[in-house]
């Protein structure tokens, strides 16, 4: 018997009712209709496939482009007690087979996989055996070459309608222009699809651009007086560290986040920000996918993003609780040229991609025609230095190889630890006797890894940590001591990039099939950058109207709170007054705090407050704070 959707929503998510188009989308899916759902960031897209999957028998197959996003979704479902499996890279065949068996026989509700994983014959064969109740294509804009994150492997997603012919398909995205929408519908081959489009408008977010000669001062001015949480986006890992240090020195509790830090550090930094121990997190755009923190008051871009799609998705992480919030770009005169240099002058042509691919295979000593199945740690800077490749252009070329399924590129910190005992058997026994305090760790290593006295053996620090009940730092300290005492040879190498080759090496023949796509890709990037710079340099169109028009949503209604609206209007708008009322409904506040919360010019703010006082909608209390008139 089918469960009630609202009961499932309350049981697992704690919400009393659906919002926006969620209910209508779910009803369409449960009626076995194919669906395209266009919803803003924070609009609750995942609920649109997770709820119907839970109320019907069978398993839901979810295609998602990012390993980090897949892992986060599966983790969240497991925390709710929902059985979910992720097929990410580097899974041995035997384990993959067992996981697919679990999908068929283990009463699992969700199978998450990348579009590249779908191309494996074993995965396709086993999907045919599954009782699939729904196919969900997340981040569906990736299927269009005009989408910001085009992934050619997404074009094969239509295969799922053959593998699971009874199951309906739902495609979901938060960033699709009309051209991309048309591509999604055509490429997925949806059958008489129902298209649902919630307005991309985020009326509680004030979109602003601040032109300044001193970006650090403006950033410090906002964040030192901000009540609530904030995200500051930058374009380089180095900048996350330096800007975080600057803010900490100026009284803003801040941490940083990027793809090159370890999983343990990522979790620790994320939790400090989520729990409010630090108010600000400075991050690259790798941060934010799947992170749901409702009370982010400011999302600040310290550097210009590469596209309006990226910007709107990142800015949309502000104000998920519906309270007034701000999305700000702080920019100087040099920023436009800097962005064009980073994103456009470093776009690789076909010749560069071919050259890099050959040298990449040489770097890993892969011969012509050879297939390498293992994931490989990749020292990117060493590679660029050895072959004289400009780092930005080389990274763009790697992304192109990743998007075209030549390889899988993961920005995951990894650490390879090897150990070999060189002391004699009696020497090891004597060492255990003399160092009884660490004997349990050494004995666990000897029991776990056969042959460790004969050859270098890869050690799994996480596994050992669980076995012996000690943290990884303690185990590393023991391994270093074994080396220092001449008992063992210990080596540790770290990497923040990992590569998995997906096809045999065939040099030019590998690249030629998508050579034209590289040219098209470069054209899309140039178009995206031009639109982004138009937004930053715009001085006449309401910021919200500008963005909505870009995504094909025509609206004459101005937001009334962006820098363009407040500059052009000599009198306060209803939108500004509404935002002030919303803020004061949470708590009484001074005009200074209200100004900082909304980023509004002081003169206009005071005028709006005066009109609200005259209308007896607010009043001043004894602490000189504004509060709602009771």
- The contacts of residue 418 (CB under 8 Å, 6+ apart) are 456, 457, 458, 459, 490, 491, 492
pTM summary value: 0.71
- Position 230 scores a pLDDT of 95
> DSSP code of 387?
H
Per-residue pLDDT tens digits for 495-536: 667 888 989 999 999 999 999 989 888 888 899 999 999 999
- The pLDDT of 607-619, averaged and rounded, is 86
pLDDT given at position 85: 93
Residues 604-616 have a mean pLDDT of 83
- Residue 53 in this model has a pLDDT that exceeds 90: yes
So what's the pLDDT on residue 285?
82
DSSP assignments along 425-439, one per residue: HHHHHHHHHHTGGGH
Tell me the pLDDT of the chain averaged across its residues.
88
* Alpha helix ranges (H) inside 14-138: 22-30, 47-55, 67-79, 93-105, 115-118, 121-129
> Domain limits of the chain?
5-197, 201-333+541-547, 342-413+498-527, 414-495, 569-630
User: Following CA atoms 479, 481, 484, 485 in sequence, which dihedral angle do they give, to the nearest 10 degrees?
Assistant: -110
Length of the chain: 630
Domain 569-630 has CATH 3.30.70.580: no
pLDDT digits (tens, 9 = 90+) for 234-245: 998 899 999 999
Whether residue 118 has pLDDT greater than 90: no
CA–CA distance, 234 with 240 (Å, rounded to integer): 7
Least confident span in 59-63, 132-136, 161-165, 614-618: 614-618
Average pLDDT, integer, range 557-575: 79
Q: Which residue has the tokens 């993003």?
A: 305
Supply the pLDDT for residue 31. 94
- What confidence score (pLDDT) does residue 455 get? 83
Q: For residue 358, what are the contacts with CB-CB under 8 A and spacing of at least 6?
A: 507
pLDDT in tens, 353-409: 999 999 999 999 999 999 987 888 888 889 999 999 998 899 889 988 988 889 988
**Which pLDDT does position 358 carry in this prediction?**
97
1 falls in which pLDDT band (50, 70, 90)? very low
Rounded Cα–Cα distance for residues 257 and 282 (Å): 6
Using one digit for the tens of pLDDT, what is the confidence trace for 138-186? 999 988 877 667 777 788 898 999 999 999 999 999 888 888 899 999 8
| Residue 387 CB contacts under 8 Å (≥ 6 apart), including other chains | 356, 359, 363
User: Domain 5-197: what homologous superfamily?
Assistant: P-loop containing nucleotide triphosphate hydrolases (3.40.50.300)
Higher pLDDT, 276 or 451: 276
Domains 5-197 and 342-413+498-527 share a fold: no
30/377: higher pLDDT: 30
Higher local confidence (pLDDT), 260 or 45: 45
Q: Which CATH number fits domain 342-413+498-527: 3.30.70.260, 3.40.50.10490, 1.10.10.10, 3.40.50.620?
A: 1.10.10.10
Greatest Cα pair distance, the chain, in angstroms, is: 91
Q: Can you tell me the distance from the alpha carbon of 465 to that of 262, in angstroms, rounded to the nearest whole number?
A: 16
Neighbours of 211 (CB within 10 A): 16
CATH of 201-333+541-547, one of 2.60.40.10, 3.40.50.10490, 3.30.540.10, 3.40.50.300: 3.40.50.300
What pLDDT, on a 0 to 100 scale, did the predictor assign at position 571? 62
Q: Work out the pLDDT band at 415, boundaries 50, 70, 90.
A: low
Sheet strands (E) in 138-262: 169-173, 194-197, 205-211, 229-233, 254-257
- Which position has the higher pLDDT, 94 or 136? 136
């Amino acid at each position: 018997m089918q469960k009630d959707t609202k009961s499932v929503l309350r049981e697992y998510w704690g919400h009393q009712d659906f919002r926006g188009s969620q209910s209508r989308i779910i009803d369409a899916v449960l009626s076995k209709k194919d669906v395209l759902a266009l919803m803003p960031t924070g609009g609750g897209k995942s609920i649109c496939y997770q709820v119907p999957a839970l109320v019907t028998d069978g398993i839901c197959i979810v295609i998602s482009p990012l390993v980090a996003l897949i892992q986060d979704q599966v983790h969240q479902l497991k925390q709710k007690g929902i059985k979910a499996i992720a097929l990410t890279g580097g899974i041995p065949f035997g384990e993959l087979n067992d996981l697919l068996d679990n999908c068929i026989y283990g009463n699992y509700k969700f199978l998450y996989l990348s579009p590249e994983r779908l191309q494996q014959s074993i995965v396709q064969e086993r999907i045919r055996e599954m009782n699939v109740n729904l196919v969900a294509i997340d981040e569906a804009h990736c299927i269009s070459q005009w989408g910001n994150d085009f992934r050619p492997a997404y074009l094969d997603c239509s295969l799922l309608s053959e593998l699971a012919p009874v199951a309906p398909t739902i495609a979901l995205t938060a960033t699709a222009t009309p051209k991309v929408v048309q591509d999604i519908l055509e490429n997925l081959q949806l059958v008489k699809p129902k298209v649902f489009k919630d307005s991309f408008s985020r009326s509680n977010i004030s979109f602003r651009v601040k032109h300044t000669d001193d970006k650090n001062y403006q950033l410090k001015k906002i964040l030192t007086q901000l009540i609530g949480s904030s995200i500051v986006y930058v374009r380089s890992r180095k900048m996350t560290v330096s800007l975080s240090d600057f803010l900490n020195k100026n009284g803003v509790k801040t941490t940083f986040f990027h793809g090159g830090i370890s999983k343990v550090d990522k979790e620790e930094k994320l939790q400090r920000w989520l729990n409010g121990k630090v108010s600000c997190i400075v991050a690259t755009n790798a941060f934010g996918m799947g992170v749901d923190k409702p009370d982010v008051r400011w999302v600040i871009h310290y550097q210009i993003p590469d596209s309006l799609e990226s910007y709107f998705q990142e800015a949309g992480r502000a104000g998920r609780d519906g309270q007034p919030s701000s999305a700000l770009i702080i920019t100087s005169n040099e920023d436009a040229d800097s962005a064009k240099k980073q994103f456009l002058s470093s776009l690789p042509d076909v010749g560069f991609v071919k050259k890099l691919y050959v040298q990449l295979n040489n770097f890993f000593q892969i011969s012509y025609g050879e297939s390498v199945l293992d994931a490989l740690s990749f020292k990117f800077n060493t590679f660029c230095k050895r072959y004289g490749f400009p780092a930005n252009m080389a990274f763009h070329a790697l992304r192109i190889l990743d998007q075209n399924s030549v390889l899988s590129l993961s920005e995951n910190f990894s650490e390879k630890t090897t150990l070999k005992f060189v002391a004699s058997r009696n020497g090891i026994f004597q060492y255990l006797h003399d160092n009884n305090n660490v004997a349990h760790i050494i004995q666990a290593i000897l029991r776990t890894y056969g042959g460790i006295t004969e050859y270098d053996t890869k050690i799994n620090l996480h596994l050992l940590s669980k076995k012996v009940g000690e943290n990884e730092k303690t185990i590393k300290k023991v391994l270093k001591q074994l080396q220092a005492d001449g008992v063992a040879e210990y080596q540790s190498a770290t990497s923040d990039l990992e590569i998995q080759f997906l096809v045999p090496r065939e040099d030019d023949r590998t690249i030629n099939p998508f050579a034209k796509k590289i040219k098209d890709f470069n054209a899309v990037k140039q178009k995206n950058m031009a639109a982004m710079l138009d937004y930053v340099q715009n001085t006449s169109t309401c910021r919200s109207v500008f963005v909505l028009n870009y995504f094909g949503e025509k609206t004459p209604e101005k937001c009334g709170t962006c820098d363009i609206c407040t500059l052009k209007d000599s009198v306060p708008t209803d939108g500004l007054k509404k935002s002030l009322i919303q803020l004061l409904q949470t708590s009484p506040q001074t005009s200074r705090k209200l100004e900082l919360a909304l980023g509004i010019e002081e003169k206009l703010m005071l005028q709006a407050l005066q009109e609200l006082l005259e209308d007896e909608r607010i009043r001043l209390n004894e602490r000189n704070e504004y509060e709602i008139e009771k």
